[in-house]
Structures are given as structure tokens and as C-alpha cells.
Structure 1
Amino acid sequence: MNESEFGGPSVGVEEEFLLVDPVSGVPSLRNERVASCARAAGLALQLELSQCQVETNSPVCHDSDSLRDRLLEMRKVAAAAAMREGCRLVATGTPMVGPPRMPISNSDRYREMESRFGIVSTEQAVCGCHVHVDVPDRELAVQVCNHVRPWLPTILALGANSSVNRGVDSGFESWRSVLWSRWPGSGPPPLFDSAEHYGRTVAAFVDAGVLMDERMVYWDIRPSCHLPTVEVRVADVQPTVDQAVLIATLVRALVMTSIRAVEAGEPPPRVPLEVLRAANWLAARDGLVGRALDPWTARPAAAGDLLAALVAHVRDSLDELGEHDRVTRSLEWVWRSGTGADWQRRMLVELGDPARVVELAAARTLCEQERVTD
């Protein structure tokens, strides 16, 4: 996984999905059965917190084409396993229909989470897209997180895919991020002086019972506790594979750009945590179509302008990866067709039937971008 050999750090993506009833669209509590069926087909699905959720983990990839192929393949195998067990796989950040609470998956860890965190656990059937980028040195990883953190609201706005929740328009582009913010150690992270500072802070939270362990560090970006990576976990699960690849490519380029800044001795932007939290909240509400908060100035801005600034910021890294044209085309597609959240809201208005929107979202989950229609 040498960077010079492969033209940039490796990347991997974790995608969380909902299982739903094929008629009603209500979450289906069959993740163990679906995972067993997928295992027989050669795919290891992870069980998530709620019984209506599964997760795929891509292999290490060195370019967007291979990442796209792997994500599409895993979605297809997982969807086929779901169908064999009488349900459907859907890439949406929150359930569009169904009750607010879901039973916890059968594991000692998840039962302990339910015992400690109560209703926060049972109302947590939410699905994200987590991007891992290779940064094997933990000290460097912490500093990269410091440099990336001001861009997290922009990634959140681009990756919003949970506007419809429990049969109604939530009023937010990413309702998932609002629900997710109830966990301790969630949202944008603070600045850390060093890996030691990071570790000391996490240890204090664990000692106080705020977190069960380091795995419960749910900040929007973090050094992975089990992989030599930086993990960006701010986006909703994406409605199509191509949108997931777009998020992953921008994150990969952003990490590359941040590594260069750290190695050049550039200090990280000293954006106050309260400003980032406000920017995140506004990104969750308005996505790409409304107002945004510029983290550097704490003043109103257009979300589209901040996205353009992000692309300009990582231009050199995108050129090095040979990905600038792909990213440009994908963003043009998003501006024409909307984010997943825009699509959900539009379909709910046009159809007036949340179950029908779920059905179309399930079909979209397996679509390639150029074949996606409204």
C-alpha cells in the first residue's frame, strides 16, 4: 500500500443499509437471516445496532474504478440475500416509514449499549457512509483530522440522504445527523494537540462512563481505533454507488491535501467547536440548496460556494489521482438531479405515498448513476 506505487493513499468504504418489507416499506427485523444468506454467497455482512440494519465493508482499493466495482458488487449480493429472506435492501439515512423504535441486534455489546443509553439506542436505525483513507501514523492521523474538520459540514451537505422520516418530510436534508448527534462523542471533533492529547481525552470519557470504549468515539472524523486510517463518517449512506464514490474520492483528496499541509508545517485552521457545530446543524437542515455557515468566518454563505471552495482546495490531489474530471462530472449530475435528500422530498410530493418512495429508493440502491431516473 505504498503511496508512490499506487498514486495516493488507499481508500475503503463502509456502507450501512436498511432492510425493509417489500410492500409496506416498514423496517424488517431480519438482519441475522440476511447476513447468513449473504455469507453463503461469499459476502460478510456486519450486523448493525438495530435488527433492521446490515453493513458492507469494501476491501482496500487504490482507485475509484475498483472502489465502484466493489461497492456495486457488494450491494447486489446484499440485495439478493435480502430478497431471498423476504425483504429489500435500501440505501437511505433513516427509515422513511415505520415506528420510531427498533429492537437491538443480538449481541452482548449492543445489549450493553441499550442498557447504558436507553432510547438513544432503540431509536438509532440510521445509516451512514464511512470513508477510510490510509494514514498509518497515528500522530499524523490526529493532525490530519485537525485540518479536515472545517470541511466536514460541506461533506455533510453533499451527502445528505434522509429528508423523509417516518412518513413525513422531516424539514431537514439529513435527519440522520440530527438523530446521531444525541450520542456522546458525536458530531465534529475538537482540535487535538497530539495523539497523546487525543488518547488522554478518550480515556477520560471511558473512565467517566460517557463512552464504553474507544470504539464509541463517534466524531465525524477520527483516527480509526482498529485500522491504520483516518475515518470520515459524516455523510448519510448514499442512494447510488456513484454518489458514494464521489464522497469517497473527495474525502481521499482532502486527506491527501491535509497530509501535505501537516508535512509542510502549516497549522490547522483554529475553527471553534461551537462554530463547527452550528455549521453542521445548518448543513443538516439545508443541504446544498439553502444557507450555510462559513466555518472560517462564522458568517452566512452559499453551500454551493463552499463546495466549490472544497474542490478548489483539493484540486492538486484530484489531479494527482486523475479524478478531477470524474468529480466534476459527478457534481454536475448532483446539481441537476439533487442529493438523495432532494430526491426523497421530491418523490414524496409527487407520489404522496412513503411506501412507494421506499420501493423506488430500493431500486435506486442498485442503479448506476447514468441509469438513475426520477
Structure 2
Amino acid sequence: MAVGVEEEFHTVDLETHRLLPRADSLLQQLPAERFGAELQRSVVETNSRPFLRLLDLAEDLAALRRGVVASAEPLGLGIVAAGTVPVVDLDALKVTPDARYENMLEEYQALAREQLICGAQVHVDVGDRELAVAVAQRLTPRIPVLLALSASSPYWLGTDTGYASYRTLLWSRWPTAGPMGRFATADEYDALIADLVRSGVISDPGMIYFDVRPSAHLPTVELRLCDACPRVEDVVLLAGLFRAMVIEELDAIDAGRPCEPPRPELARSLTWRAARAGLAGELVDPDARTPVPAPVYVRRVVDALRPTLERTGDWELVSELTDAALTGGGSAARQRAAFAGGGFDGVMDLLLAKTRAHTDWAPAVGPVRPRVEVMLRGYDASADEAVVFDGTARGPYGLVLNALERLGPDGLHEREKLRDEVQRGLGMTFHVDGEKERLFPVDVIPRVIAARDWTWLQDGLVQRVRGLEAFLRDAYGEREAVRAGIVPAWALDEAPGSRADGALVPTGTVRCAVAGIDLVRDGAGRWSVLEDNLRVPSGIGYALANRWLSARVLPELMRAQPTAGPARAISVLRAALAGDAALVTVGESDAAFFEHRLLADEMDIPLVTPDQLRVDDTGVHANGHRVDVLYRRIDEDELYGACPDLLASVQRGSVRLANAPGNGIGDDKALYAFVPDLIRYYLGEEPILPNVPTYLCRDPDQRERVLEEIADLVVKPVDGYGGAGVLIGPDATAAEREEARERIRAEPARWIAQDTVRLSTHPTFHDGRLSPRVVDLRAFVTQAPDAAPEVVPIALTRVAPEGSRVVNSSRGGGSKDTWLVL
């Protein structure tokens, strides 16, 4: 569940510490998609990307602060993150010259003139507007503790107000501020907003200022109650706690627990007490209706959220940030201590310093944030895994960007020459029908998968292959899933990969010795399964070769990176074959023959073509050697055509095919839509890895939706591979979309559609610059007889050509080495 943040900042004169209406000067230098204006010209707003990981969010927030501070200081401006600043001159400040804001000034007078306040707003994606409305109203009694954690506005118009968050009292004067009421449906909520607009009390839905509200245009829940925080880690803490609260309320809705919000009078009193006390006084326990010292209550809330925070992987970080937030009594207490030592100038010095000091804060990453200035100029990092929008390194990419900075474009060109030399020595080539053989495209810049991601992915990959193996056995056995209504009969009977010989495999045989699971990641860090490859998945050999290339091309980085080596990957693959084995290939005419030869050499098994197989009463022989297993990198028909007696040996159990015949039934794009339900049915577990939402065009209702929304969808043939026949709606012309509609209408059962995922990008070196290219990840899972599935500790990142979302080699795609952090 992704979380994002909007932060508001005051612009002040660095010398006088007074607010200055200079936000427009800053915004001219900053990207409009990440920075914006607010009602008052002395306020700048920043907008983070949504992220799953709080560490990623922290990096983005720190980069946004760096951006606004770097633009402000040459103009003599300072940036302050706090609910209010101590001294303002109301007559000297103006609203932003915008028709909406000028109308608000005319209509609301003093409310608008005195809107010299800044907040931190947290957005959590719940995926559905009905859920957003349902969750928002349930959160009312839970969020005052978040206000207490953020409280940073004790001073207003030159006086100590006695409140930790006086901003809350200023904000509450708006007619639509405060706790959200009860609504049965989103339509009822929208009807209220329409009534408020029609009444003239507000001019548009954006003026709904409830403490928590559903977004006006996205399926998100927004927390709007909190002060801006001088320390970015406090904002990250708010985001982590609020998301956990949202998740708990979603769970409550799923469990059918009723919503029992407090009476409005109590709800407002909870907020008032938090604004008054902050972290230095007492808060009110909404259940017991009793006062509790703020630090005690905060820890009680955090501890109660621990199971949910552990589910999201946030517990350790949130626990650490909570300890830090409670130290010193919060921002309001620190400001009062600064005032005692230096008056309002002391307060402003503190706020400026705290806001600026935390522009480089990112836990577990360290203070060094390398950037590659020249090669990243104009780089679009809006969905990037490695680069923050300001060109600094994200997550584990500090070492990589440091190396790129040292090498520069000329150095990378030299490393590319070395790469090509090594590839030629390896014979690392590839060809597409009608083309000459060429070096397989490999980018020199590696992709890094963080340890936390890889650990989670491994669990999900093993679970998925266990479920698919159970399905393959059932599909060619008793078909219990069909009888139970989990999957329709047509999904088996009409699947292009279904084969009669699949039923000849002896009971208990491992059908999927090697699976290739294609994964995609979006800009928020969400991983999904895109496709399952259970027939003859390719790519392990290229992944191994990419690692050898890295070891030669970037040895200084490889020595510093803790990742499994090729030897371990070969060991896992060889163990899955379990016995005397041979690798069967079409031969040099196969586009991936390089990989076949490499794998056979590394596993020290014979590489044979079908005509080199001999079947007799003693078994199957490859080049004169008796074999138990044939690792086939060839279609069934080609294999049987050259060795017609082989199928009888498979049926007798004298030889095992890896993978078993008929596995293509599991590659079917229509069957993919049922995999989560199959996992639940066979394993009794909730799927770890989600599917991309998929629509079956054979279903009339789903087909109509696809035909209507094709511009936003990806359309695929159920039996397609290599990107053939795929239409990406957002990238297609009107004529191409209409052609796709006609194909769907003519043969609806042949097509599925999927939601378009905004795939993550990764830096790729091209023409002396770094270019963001779409990437996916093919991971491999092996199964040996009588052993649990095991993930091969090497993976293949595939890279799309510039301007494309299709990564397949046959469509001009390439690859890069993938470092799986241990």
C-alpha cells in the first residue's frame, strides 16, 4: 500500500527572519510536478512520489527539501518547516495571484489573510473510492496522536499561545475543517460536497478540509491534520503510523466490524487536547476517555500497531523514529527552549537549522548522496529505481553512482569496449529471424535488488511455483480445481499449451523443474507477477554471462557487493535435474544456442540435438551415455519428431523431461488470471505476489470494459510470447486500437487485457548519457524430486529499447547484470 506526502514550507528572509512573499521566485526554478504554490505567496508546497517503503519516501522527502533550500538560499531566503513562524507582518503579505486564491481572499477575508500556516499531509492509496470514504470516517478518534507528534506551532503574532499547535486552531476556523462525519457510501459523501459547493460556502471540492478525507480525484485517504515538521524523520514517522492505521481499518472492514466513530463533541475535544499539549502534556485516550501522559500514550499506540507495522516491514524504523520524536518533548518544546536562550531569533535559527539539516537524512543509507551531474542532465527519474529526482542516488545505489562519477562518459565507453571483447570471447550472441547474429545487448550499469525486496520476492516465488506445480498435476490428473469451481473447464480444455501427452507423465513426477517468473515493479516499489513461464523458460545462461561481464568490466564494484556468485546458481540448477542429465537443443539455429552451450558446459552435462538421442530397452542414451533426465530447451513436437520413441520412455518413467510435456497449459495468459485462487485452493495460503489486474475478453462484461477502456490497457494473445501480438493502449494509435478491438470481437477467447503498470525505470548508458529505460525481472525457481522449490540466486533484468515498454530481445530489448543483495 503506497504512501506519499505533501509538505508546506515558509519562505523567510535569512537576515530578518520575517516571512517574505517570494515563493513564486523559487517555483520558477523548480519542476512544477514536484513543487507548487499555496494560498499565501510565502508558502511553497512539495509533493513526494508514492512509495511502499518508508526509506524510499524518506529519500524523496529529503531530496525535495534539498531542492527548495538550494533554490532559496542564493535569493537570501530561508526555508522553514513548521506550523507557524513566530512573527509575521500581515499587511506585507499577499495571496498567490491566482483566480481561485483571490476569490478565497474576497470570500473568507481574515481567514485567508491569516492563512500563514504550513502542514504535512499524508496520502495512502487504498485502491477504491468507496473504501477511501469508509476508512476516512473510521480514523477520526485515532489521528489526534499524530497531531501531537507533529505539533510545531506554539508562537503566533509574536506571542506564546500556550498551545503546541496553534496552527490547528487557525485551521479549524474554515467552514469545512474538523472531523469527518458519517457516510454510508461515496455517493452520499459526494452529494454533501455538491451541496456545499451549490450553497456557495465553498467554491470547489478542494476546499474540503476535514482532518481526514478521501481524495477528490484519487482512491486515496488523506491525513490533513498535522503541522509541518522541521525534522523529515518525523514526517516519515507520521506516514508510517498513518498507513498502519489505514491498514487496520481496512482489515476491520473486511472482518465486518462496524464503524463506531465518537460523537462530534468528543472528536473535537481529542483534537483540541492534542493541539494544546503536543508531546509535553497529556492526551486523551479515546476509548477510556481518560487523560494519559503524551509519551505514554504515543508508545501505547505504536505498540498496538506493531503487528501491522511488522507486516509492512516498518516496525524497526518506526520504533526508532518514535524514540527520536519523544526525545526533548517535541518541536514545540524545543522551540520554547530556544526562545528562552535567544528569543524569536533563536527560535528561527533553530527552525532554519533543523529544516536544512534534514535535507540529507535517510536512515541506513548514510550521509553520502552521490550524483552524476553531466550524464544525468535532463534525466526523468519519476519512476526510477536508482535515481532520486534531483540526481542523487536512491537506496543501495551509492556505490554504483560513485563509480559512474569516477569513470565519467569516456571511462564508461572504455568499459563498453571491454564488455564487447568479453562477449565475443564468450560467444555471447543472439539472433532474430531475418537478422544477422549479433552480440546480446548488455548495459554496463548493474541493477541492484535490495535485500529486503529479494527476501520477500523469494518467499512469493516459491509459493507461486508450489501452487503452479499442484495445478499442473491436477490439470493432467483428477481436475479437482475444476470440480470445485476454482477454475473453469475451458481454461484447461482450450488452453493452447494443453497436450494429451501431459497426461502420460507418471504420477508424482516433478513437472516444473525450472520455472521462469516475470516480475515488474512500479514507481512506488510495488512488485507484481506479469507472466509465468513453465514450458522452456530461458535466461539463466544470460544472467550468468552478465555476472561474468560485470566481474571483468566493473571489478571494483563487484568486490564490494555482497551477492551470490554464478557457482551457486549452477549448483541449484544442477540439483534440480537430479541424476545423469543431458541438455537437448535444436542446435546452432536456435536464437538462444549460446545459452544452451553455456549451461551444458557449466553443469558438465552433454549438449545434444534430438537426433543424437537413442531409446532402447535399457533406457535413453545421449551420445552413447545413459541419462535419467533431459533438460529440454526445445518444443515437444520438435523433440518427438526427431526421437519418436522418447514419449514411451517418459510414460514408463525411464527418463524424465525437465520440463514435463504439456506445461504450456500453465503459461496461458487466461489461466494466469486464476493463479491467485489456485494458490488459495491448493496451498490454503494467501498469495504473496500479486497479479496485474487481468480481464478475460471471452467474458462479455469484461470484454465490453476492455473495448471501452482499451486506451488504458495492455492487450495480449493468450498464447503469445516474446511480445508478439501485444498492444499497449497508451502507446498505440487510434487506428491500432481499433484494429485490436476488431480482433477481440472476432475471437474474444484468444485475448486478455491487463491494467497498464507504470513500470519502473533504470539508468542505461547510451550516447554518453544515462537514459531511463523500462526494466522487468525474470527470476528462476527450480524443483528437484522430493525437495522444496528453491530460487536460483541469479536473475535476469531485461531492458526495453528507448521509448518502449517491451523488454523482449526479439523486440530490440537487452539486459543488465542484476545484483541480489544478501
- Normalized against structure 2, the TM-score is what? 0.43
What residue identity is the alignment partner of 1:64?
A: L
Maintained 8 Å contact 1:72/1:366: no
Within the candidate set 230, 237, 240, 1:246 is matched to 237
Which residue number corresponds to residue 89 of structure 1? 79
SS at match of 1:18: strand
- Report the equivalent of 1:350: 341
Match of 2:102 among 111, 118, 123: 111
Q: Which residue does 2:268 correspond to in 1?
A: 277
Q: Distance in 2 between matches of 1:279 and 1:306?
A: 13
Q: Which residue does the alignment assign to 1:16? A: 8
Q: Which residue of 2 aligns with 1:53?
A: 43
Q: CA deviation at 1:208?
A: 1.3
Question: What does 1:161-310 align with in structure 2 at a 5 Å threshold?
Answer: 161-310=152-301
Contact 2:6 2:47 in 1 (8 A): yes
Equivalent residue, structure 2, for 1:5: none
* Distance in structure 2 (CA, Å) of the matches to 1:309 and 1:223: 27
Q: Of 312, 335, 340, which aligns to 2:331?
A: 340
Residues 239-273 of structure 1, C-alpha deviations (whole Å, 9 max, x = no match):
11111101111111111111111111111233111
Find the counterpart in structure 2 of residue 75 from structure 1: 65
Which deviates more from structure 2 when the two are superposed, residues 311-320 or residues 116-125? 311-320
Question: Which is richer in strand?
Answer: 2
Report the Cα distance in structure 2 between the residues aligned to 1:117 and 1:297, rounded to whole angstroms. Answer: 38
Q: Aligned AA for 1:321? A: T
Q: Which residues of 2 match residues 99-138 of structure 1 at below 5 A?
A: 99-100=89-90, 102-138=93-129
Find the aligned partners of 1:300 and 1:332 in 2 and give their Cα distance. 21
- Secondary structure at the aligned position of 2:39 is classed as coil
Q: Structure 2 vs 1, CA of residues 339 and 137 (structure 1 numbering), >3 Å: closer, same or farther? A: same
User: Aligned Cα RMSD in Å?
Assistant: 1.7
Q: Name the amino acid aligned to 1:30.
A: R
1:67-124 CA distances to partner (integer Å, 9 max, x unpaired)? 0000000101101111122211110111222224531111000001011111100100
Shift of 1:339: 1.4
CA distance in 2, matches of 1:326, 1:275: 32
| DSSP 3-state at the match of 1:94 | coil
Q: Which amino acid aligns with 1:351?
A: G
Give the AA of the match of 1:21. D
| Residue 36 (structure 1) aligned with residue 28 (structure 2) | yes
C-alpha distance in 2 between matches for 1:271 and 1:297:
12
User: Contact between 1:15 and 1:237, CA under 8 Å: does it hold in 2?
Assistant: yes
SS of 1:37's equivalent in the other structure is coil
Query: Is 1:66 paired with 2:56?
Result: yes
User: Is the Cα contact below 8 Å between 1:161 and 1:340 reproduced in 2?
Assistant: yes
Alpha-carbon distance in structure 1 between the residues aligned to 2:347 and 2:282? 27
8 Å CA contact retained: 1:43, 1:78 = no
Counterpart-to-counterpart distance in 1, 2:173 and 2:33: 32
Give the corresponding residue for 2:354.
Answer: 364
1:326 aligns with 2:326: no
Return the alpha-carbon distance in structure 2 between the equivalents of residues 303 and 195 of structure 1.
35
SS at match of 2:223: strand
Contact map agreement 2:148 2:278 (CA 8 A) in 1: yes
2:44 is paired with a residue whose SS is strand
Local SS of the residue matching 1:150: coil
Structure 2: how far apart are the matches of 1:30 and 1:200? 38
Counterpart amino acid of residue 76 in structure 1: R
CA distance in 2, matches of 1:198, 1:29: 36
Deviations 1:180-216 (A, max 9, x none): 0010110121222221221122222112112111110
1:140-189 per-residue CA deviation (whole Å, 9 max, x = no partner) reads 11111122111121111111011122333221000111100010110121
User: In 1, Cα distance between the equivalents of 2:287 and 2:205?
Assistant: 30
CA distance in structure 1 between the partners assigned to 2:155 and 2:230 by the alignment = 13
Gaps of 5+ in 2: 367-822
Look up the SS of the partner of 1:149 in the other structure: coil
In 1, distance between residues paired with 2:34 and 2:6? 12
Task: For 1:294, give the aligned amino acid.
Answer: D
Compute the displacement of 1:64 (Å). 0.7
Q: Which runs of 5+ in 1 are unaligned?
A: 1-8
The CA distance in 1 between the partners of 2:35 and 2:330, in whole Å, is 26
Contact 2:146 2:238 in 1 (8 A): yes
In the alignment, is the contact (CA less than 8 A) between 1:71 and 1:241 conserved in 2? yes
* Contact preservation (8 Å) 1:142, 1:192: yes
CA distance in 1, matches of 2:355, 2:274: 23
Helix, strand or coil at the partner of 2:308: helix
* Superposed displacement of residue 341, structure 1: 1.3
- SS in structure 1 opposite 2:6? strand
Assess if the C-alpha contact under 8 Å between 2:39 and 2:96 holds in 1.
Answer: yes
Amino acid of the residue matched to residue 72 of structure 1? A
Mean CA deviation greater in 120-129 or 157-166: 157-166
Please tell me the residue identity of whatever aligns with 1:70.
Answer: D
> Does residue 27 of structure 1 match 2:2?
no
Partner AA of 1:271 in structure 2: P
The 10-residue stretch of structure 1 (254-263 or 309-318) with the greater mean CA deviation from structure 2: 309-318
Answer yes or no: is the 8 Å Cα contact 2:335–2:350 preserved in 1.
no
* Corresponding residue SS for 2:222: strand
Larger Rg: 2
After superposition, the C-alpha distances for 1:326-368 in whole angstroms (9 at most, x for unaligned) are 111111112223311111111111222x123212211210224
Secondary structure of 1:338 counterpart:
helix
In the aligned structure 2, how far is the partner of 1:49 from the partner of 1:163?
22
Q: Distance in 2 between matches of 1:201 and 1:306?
A: 35
**Cα deviations by residue, 1:37-74 (Å, 9 ceiling, x for unpaired):** 223xx874210111100000001211011100000001
Task: Say which SS state the counterpart of residue 338 (structure 2) adopts.
Answer: helix
SS of alignment partner, residue 144 of structure 1: helix
Q: Secondary structure at the match of 1:20?
A: strand
Distance in 2, matches of 1:331 and 1:150, equals: 20
**Aligned to 1:28, what secondary structure does the other structure show?**
coil
Cα-to-partner distance string for 1:2-30 (whole Å, 9 max, x where unaligned): xxxxxxx0010000000000011100111
Is contact 1:35-1:44 (8 Å) kept? no
Q: As a proportion of its length, which structure holds more helix? A: 1
Residue 318 of structure 1, CA deviation: 0.3
How far off is 1:282 after superposition? 1.2
Query: Aligned partner of 1:26: which letter?
Result: R
Amino acid in structure 2 at the alignment position of 1:75: R
Paired residues of 2:129 and 2:218 also in contact (CA < 8 A): no
Offset at residue 294 of structure 1 (A): 2.6
The answer to which of 78-87 and 216-225 deviates more is 78-87
Instruction: Tell me the distance in 1 between the aligned counterparts of 2:299 and 2:264.
Output: 23
Larger relative contact order, structure 1 or 2 (CA cutoff 8 Å, min sep 6): 1
Mark the CA change 1:193 to 1:299 in structure 2 (over 3 Å): closer, same or farther: farther
> For residue 150 of structure 1, what is the aligned residue in structure 2?
141
Q: Secondary structure at the match of 1:15?
A: strand
Q: Distance in 1 between matches of 2:34 and 2:319?
A: 33
Partner-residue secondary structure (3-state), 1:362: helix
Distance 2:293 2:330 in 1: 16
Specify the code of the residue in structure 2 equivalent to 1:290: G
